[in-house]
């Protein structure tokens, strides 16, 4: 995934903040916020490890699961024309709409 970094098995989104001329990392998929800042990659790794450990320690102390849980269901709104096109594309491949969308999302998520 672009603009992400794995730190101790957790993924963080990395963005450059031109106002402070530093990189900002924010862990994604957690039950709360855990962010960190540094001027370079090595600093991001170090600060990310520290921020993550503080977050995990707080979760353990409070008895909170650190990772968000996901149901596997979400609603999406698309223009009617696109809806028709993807139904046709799925049918042409002998797939249900759900199967087709899952495969498209997997492709994009792993690109």
- Residue count of the chain, please give it: 111
Return mean pLDDT, the chain. 95
pLDDT at 78: 95
What 8-state DSSP symbol labels residue 40?
A: S
78 alpha carbon, distance to own chain's centre: 22
The mean per-residue pLDDT over the stretch 13-18 comes to 96
Q: Per-residue confidence at 40, pLDDT binned at 50, 70, 90?
A: very high
The 10s digit of each residue's pLDDT in 59-107 is 999 999 999 999 999 999 999 999 999 999 999 999 999 999 999 999 9
Domain ranges of the chain: 4-62, 80-109
Does residue 41 contact residue 31 with C-beta atoms inside 8 Å? no
Is residue 1 over pLDDT 70?
Answer: no
């Amino acid at each position: 995934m672009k603009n992400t970094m794995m730190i101790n098995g957790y993924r963080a989104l990395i963005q450059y903040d031109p106002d402070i001329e530093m990189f900002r990392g924010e862990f994604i998929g957690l039950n709360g916020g855990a962010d960190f800042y540094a001027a370079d990659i090595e600093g991001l790794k170090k600060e990310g490890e520290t921020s993550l450990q503080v977050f995990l320690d707080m979760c353990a102390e409070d008895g909170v699961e650190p990772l968000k849980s996901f149901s596997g269901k979400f609603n999406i709104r698309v223009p009617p024309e696109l809806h028709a096109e993807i139904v046709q594309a799925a049918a042409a491949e002998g797939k249900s709409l759900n199967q087709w969308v899952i495969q498209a999302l997997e492709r994009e998520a792993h690109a």
